[in-house]
Amino acid sequence: MKKESDFQKDLIDEIEAMFPGCIIEKHDPYRRGFPDLIILYKDKWAMLECKRETNASKRPLQDHYVELLNGMSFCSFVYPENKQEVLDGLQSTFEPKRTACIPRSE
């Protein structure tokens, strides 16, 4: 099993490849429980709290911040078992699918 820091590094590389030009910053642990990463892309943002596995322990307030920030934009816990689901969520947040414009009949 990978260490959390190794998982996080690989995840950052994958996100940077998916969203060229994005900015990813690791959070300074000044605010306890705040998510690890902020991702800035075009005019949107997302935050991720990385865990090395599904059952990894959580620090106090992590659930609170993930829920609060997810209500503002996109925020999620991410671990190897849900990584693809989270990447799909980032894709939907950063590049929502455009709906086809159907001309009205006169």
**pLDDT higher than threshold 90 for residue 28:** no
| Average pLDDT value for residue range 14-20 | 96
Give the range of the structural domain holding residue 42, as residue numbers without chain letter. 4-94
| Domain assignment of residue 66, yes or no | yes
| Domain assignment of residue 79, yes or no | yes
| Average pLDDT value for residue range 37-43 | 96
**pLDDT higher than threshold 70 for residue 106:** no
State the total domains in the chain. Answer: 1
Closest CA to 24 of 6, 12, 42: 12
| Domain assignment of residue 100, yes or no | no
Inter-helix orientation angle 4-18/83-94, to 10°: 30
CATH number of 64's domain: 3.40.1350.10
| Domain assignment of residue 20, yes or no | yes
| Domain assignment of residue 101, yes or no | no
| Domain assignment of residue 49, yes or no | yes
H or E stretch covering 70:
helix 62-72
Q: pLDDT tens-digit profile of 45-89?
A: 999 999 999 999 998 899 999 999 999 999 999 999 999 999 999
Per-residue pLDDT, 60: 87
Task: Output phi, psi for 86, to 5 deg.
Answer: -70, -40
| Domain assignment of residue 105, yes or no | no
- In this structure, which long-range contacts are made by residues 63-71, counting pairs with CB atoms below 8 Å and at least 24 apart in sequence? 64/33, 65/33, 65/34, 65/35, 66/35, 69/35
